C-alpha cells in the first residue's frame, strides 16, 4: 500500500529532504521509474539518469542530493536504505497456517499451529517445524530435522535427516541440505563409500539460493553460521564451516573440511580447495582458485581479464616458458656472483 516519504524516512533512518507527504507504493530504477515510485542512486555510473527520472522520490547519498529537486531520502548508504524501503513496500503475501490435505506429515512430527505445510510436502518422523514456518509445495523435511521459527522453504527444497535450520532462514527451490559428503576410500582400484554420519547445522537469518547444495559432515557437522548469504548453485563440501555474515556468489565450489571466516565475500565461480583455513574479512574475486590457506585479511585475485584470442595465446606461450626463464635468470645470477670483481679505474696492473 502507498507509504509517505516521511514514514519511510522514520522507519529506515534516512534523512528527509523535501515534501514528506509524497506517497510511493513501489521501488523502481531511475530509468524505468514513474509516478508513485521511489528510485535510488547507489552507483555513480547511473548519475546522469538522476536528472531525467520520472520517479516521485529518490534515495541518494549526501553528495548527490543537490543534483535533483525531487523529494528525497538522503543517506551515506543509499543501497542499504533502498533495501529497507523495498522490504517495507513489497511485503510477501502471508500463507494460511495448517497442512494441505495432500501433505504427508508423520504422526510423531511436532508442527507449530501457526506453521504452513504446502501441497505434497513431506515431514518425517520426529521432525520439528517452528512457529510461522512455511514449508513449500513438494519440499521434504527429513526425520529428526528441526526447522526454526519463521523459516521459509520454497517449493521442492530437500532437507535430509537430523539437520537443523535456524530461525528466519530462507531456502530457495531446489536447495539440498544434508546429502552425503563425497567421502570415498580406495581399495584395489575400487571405491569404498565412507558413511557420512554428521549433520548440517544452519544458523539464524541464513539465505540459501536455488539449487545450492550443502553436504552433511562425515563425522562432525557442516556448519553455516548466522547471517550467511549463499547465492544459487553453490556447492559446499562436507565438514566445511562458513563464518557469520559471509556472502558467497553463484557457482562457487568449496571442497570439504575448509573453514571460511566471518565477514568474507567470495565472487562468482571461485573455487576453494579442501582442508584450508580462510581468515575473517577476506574478499576473493570471481573465478579465482584458492589452493592454500589465507591468514591475512585482504582482497585475493587469481585470474586475469579476457584478451583477444591471439594475444591470449601469446601470453600463454610466455607463461609456459616461465620455469625455463627462471632457471636462466638463476644461472645468470650465479655466474655474476662467481665472477671476479672488475678493477676500478686507476687500480689495475701498473696503475699509478
Is the domain of 181 the same as that of 271? yes
Average pLDDT score over the chain: 95
Number of domains in the chain: 2
Residue 346 in this model has a pLDDT that exceeds 60: no
What pLDDT band is residue 351 in, cutting at 50, 70 and 90?
very low
Residue 345 in this model has a pLDDT that exceeds 80: no
The answer as to whether 82 is a domain residue is yes
The answer as to whether 134 is a domain residue is yes
Neighbours of 213 (CB within 10 A): 17
Q: What is the pLDDT of residues 216-271, one digit of tens each?
A: 999 999 999 999 999 999 999 999 999 999 999 999 999 999 999 999 999 999 99
CATH number at residue 108: 2.160.10.10
**pLDDT (mean) for 34-54:** 95
Is 172 known to be catalytic? no
What backbone phi and psi angles, to 5 degrees, belong to 88? -75, -45
Residue 313 in this model has a pLDDT that exceeds 80: yes
Is the domain of 189 the same as that of 296? yes
pLDDT at 1: 81
Is the domain of 127 the same as that of 67? no
pLDDT at 352: 42
The answer as to whether 20 is a domain residue is yes
pLDDT at 338: 81
Residues above pLDDT 90, as percent of the chain: 90
Q: What is the pLDDT of residues 67-80, one digit of tens each?
A: 999 999 999 999 99
CA distances from 41 to 63, 65, 80, 82, 325 (A): 11, 10, 11, 9, 50
- Residue where a domain stops, chosen among 278, 300, 322: 300
Residue 275 in this model has a pLDDT that exceeds 50: yes
Residue 344 in this model has a pLDDT that exceeds 70: no
Is the domain of 173 the same as that of 258? yes
Is the domain of 65 the same as that of 111? no
The answer as to whether 323 is a domain residue is no
pLDDT at 41: 97
pLDDT at 336: 85
- Residue where a domain stops, chosen among 89, 123, 138: 89
Which one is catalytic: 172, 238, 245, 309?
238
**pLDDT (mean) for 13-36:** 98
Is the domain of 85 the same as that of 109? no
Is the domain of 40 the same as that of 185? no
Is the domain of 64 the same as that of 140? no
Is the domain of 19 the same as that of 48? yes
- Residue where a domain stops, chosen among 33, 61, 89: 89
CATH number at residue 50: 3.40.1390.10
Is the domain of 82 the same as that of 121? no
Structural domain of 76? 3-89
The 3-state secondary structure of the chain reads CCEEHHHHHHHHCCEEECCCCCEECEEECCCCCCCCEEEECCCHHHHHHHCCCCCCEEEECHHHHHHCCCCEEECCCHHHHHHHHHHHHCCCCCCCCEECCCCEECCCCEECCCCEECCCCEECCCCEECCCCEECCCCEECCCCEECCCCEECCCCEECCCCEECCCCEECCCCEEEECCCCEEEECCEEEECCCCCCEEECCCCEECCCCEEECCCCCCEEECCCCEECCCCEECCCCEECCCCEECCCCEECCCCEECCCCEECCCCEECCCCEECCCEEECCCCEECCCECCCEEECCCCCCCCHHHHHHHHHHHHCHHHHHHHHHHHHHHHHHCCCCCCCCCCCCCC
Q: What is the pLDDT of residues 92-106, one digit of tens each?
A: 888 899 999 999 999
Q: How far, in whole angstroms, is CA 281 from its chain's centroid? A: 14
Is the domain of 20 the same as that of 156? no
Amino acid at each position: 500500500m502507498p507509504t509517505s516519504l516521511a514514514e519511510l524516512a522514520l522507519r529506515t533512518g534516512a534523512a528527509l529532504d523535501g515534501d514528506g507527504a509524497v506517497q510511493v507504493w513501489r521501488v523502481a530504477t531511475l530509468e524505468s521509474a514513474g509516478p508513485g515510485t521511489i528510485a535510488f542512486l547507489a552507483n555513480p555510473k547511473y548519475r546522469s539518469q538522476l536528472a531525467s527520472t520520472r520517479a516521485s522520490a529518490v534515495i541518494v547519498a549526501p553528495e548527490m542530493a543537490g543534483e535533483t529537486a525531487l523529494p528525497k531520502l538522503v543517506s551515506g548508504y543509499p543501497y542499504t536504505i533502498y533495501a529497507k524501503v523495498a522490504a517495507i513496500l513489497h511485503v510477501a503475501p502471508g500463507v494460511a497456517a495448517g497442512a494441505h490435505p495432500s501433505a504427508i506429515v508423520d504422526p510423531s512430527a511436532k508442527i507449530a499451529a501457526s506453521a504452513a505445510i504446502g501441497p505434497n510436502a513431506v515431514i518425517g518422523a520426529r521432525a520439528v517445524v517452528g512457529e510461522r514456518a512455511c514449508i513449500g509445495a513438494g519440499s521434504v523435511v527429513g526425520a529428526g530435522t528441526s526447522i526454526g521459527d519463521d523459516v521459509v522453504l520454497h517449493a521442492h527444497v530437500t532437507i535430509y535427516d537430523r539437520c537443523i535450520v535456524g530461525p528466519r532462514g530462507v531456502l530457495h527451490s531446489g536447495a539440498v541440505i544434508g546429502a552425503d559428503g563425497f567421502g570415498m576410500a580406495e581399495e584395489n582400484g575400487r571405491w569404498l563409500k565412507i558413511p557420512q554420519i554428521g549433520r548440517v547445522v544452519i544458523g539464524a537469518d541464513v539465505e540459501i539460493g536455488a539449487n545450492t547444495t550443502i553436504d552433511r559432515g562425515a563425522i562432525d557437522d557442516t556448519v553455516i553460521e548466522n547471517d550467511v548469504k549463499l547465492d544459487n548453485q553453490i556447492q559446499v563440501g562436507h565438514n566445511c564451516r562458513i563464518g557469520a555474515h559471509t556472502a558467497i556468489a553463484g557457482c562457487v565450489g568449496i571442497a570439504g573440511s575448509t573453514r571460511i571466516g566471518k565477514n568474507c565475500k567470495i565472487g562468482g565461480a571461485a573455487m576453494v580447495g579442501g582442508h584450508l583455513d580462510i581468515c575473517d574479512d577476506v574478499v576473493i574475486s570471481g573465478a579465482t582458485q584458492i589452493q592454500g590457506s589465507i591468514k591475512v585479511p585482504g582482497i585475493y585475485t587469481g585470474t586475469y581479464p579476457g584478451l583477444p584470442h591471439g594475444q591470449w595465446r601469446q601470453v600463454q606461450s610466455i607463461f609456459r616458458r616461465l620455469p625455463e626463464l627462471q632457471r636462466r635468470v638463476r644461472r645468470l645470477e650465479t655466474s655474476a656472483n662467481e665472477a671476479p670483481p672488475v678493477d676500478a679505474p686507476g687500480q689495475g696492473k701498473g696503475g699509478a
